[in-house]
Amino acid sequence: MLKEEKHIKNLFRETVNVHPPDTLHQKIRRRILHDTHFYKEKRRKRIAMYIVSSVAAIILFLGGSFFSPTMAEVLQKLPFIGFIYEGFQSDIGLDKAKQLGLTQEYQKTVLSNDIEVTLTSAYYDGSNLSIAYTLYNHGPTNLERKSDQWDERFMLIGSNTEETDFLFNDSNVRGGFDEKYKKKGPRQYEGNLYIYPMAFPKEDQFDVEVSVSEIRGIKGDWKLRIPVTKEKVKEKGMVQTFTPSFKKEAFGGEICIKSVNFSPTGIELITETTMKKGSATLLFSILEVGADEGVAGGKKDIGNGQELTTSRSSFPPMKEIPDQITIKAYSPDDSSKEVTFKVPLKK
């Protein structure tokens, strides 16, 4: 485990040694940050976890045997550059959600070491969670630095991920996160945090705690807690969940489509696959919308030489909910291994 985590940190450092286009560099950097945080949770839970993106599954696949490429090798092997978390979890945007009356408004503020952080609003629909914040620097230290280090493209999220924690109902979040921020005035900033866990709590409402111990080299204690709920989107009929429990025999095992959740920001697909132990974890696409924008899950040994893998895949939203969706399942280590099937959606 420690060796694998060291490999991820080495891969993180390699990002400063290559110079692809700015947007691509930032997306890859966030992908690695996401995976590093996931490994921190993996140490605590001692469970066989994986976290992959369909566009980088071969070189960033964290299940079974771990491969540690340099960033140059990453760039050479990414087959679909444009799909790396493009718009992940922010299709509707907090501003648009606010216009539609779908956000929750707050004024939760903590001041520590002359830095004031306030959580101002949140949007949650059962599939995606976005939290808006403002930051005021009342102290003498300049938070702005003229540097190309990627940890300085973030404000609340630290470079080694030990500085930021997210909790759901007092339990650590197993998954990753992202952030976007901009300067609003002298020593004033505002941004959004995007949390994409392996699973959200089953309850419609739960508490989220954001805990930050360092901001741009300034130590402090910023802990903010807010309740979030998906009641607003449910009241407007903007979230629909189907539980087809559709089963398909493939790859020498069985694929079960447990649930499909439609929301304004995307589609959540929950699958369970039973396959021979050591088999590659399957990836999924919904042909009506395209490749997944991120997938997380866990594996467990169920005996008789078999493993059960539960996956949570995220996809772009659909304007209208169809009567059925077309799913393609494929193996990341052999593109010729794939199966396509239709899943009816009935209440």
Beta-strand ranges (E) seen in the chain are: 49-52, 104-112, 115-124, 129-137, 164-168, 171-172, 175-185, 188-197, 205-215, 218-229, 240-242, 246-250, 253-263, 266-276, 283-286, 290-291, 294-303, 306-315, 324-331, 334-344
3-class state of residue 10 by DSSP:
helix
70 CB neighbour count, 10 Å cutoff: 15
pLDDT at position 48, please? 35
- State the fold for domain 240-344: Immunoglobulin-like (2.60.40)
CATH 2.60.40.1640-classified regions of the chain: 240-344
**Residue 84 and residue 13: Cα distance in Å, rounded?**
19
3-class state of residue 60 by DSSP:
coil
CA distances from 35 to 4, 11, 196, 309 (A): 11, 11, 12, 18
Dmax (CA) of the chain = 63
pLDDT at position 305, please? 93
Mean pLDDT by 10 residues, the chain (347 residues): 45 42 43 44 38 37 30 35 32 70 92 97 89 95 64 66 82 80 89 84 93 91 95 84 93 94 87 91 88 76 92 84 92 80 89
pLDDT at position 161, please? 54
pLDDT at position 124, please? 92
Query: Quick one: residue 147, left, alpha or beta (phi over 0 = left, psi -120 to 50 = alpha)?
Result: beta
3-class state of residue 280 by DSSP:
coil
CATH 2.60.40.1630-classified regions of the chain: 94-235
CATH for the 94-235 domain, from 2.40.110.10, 2.60.40.1630, 3.10.129.10, 2.60.120.10: 2.60.40.1630
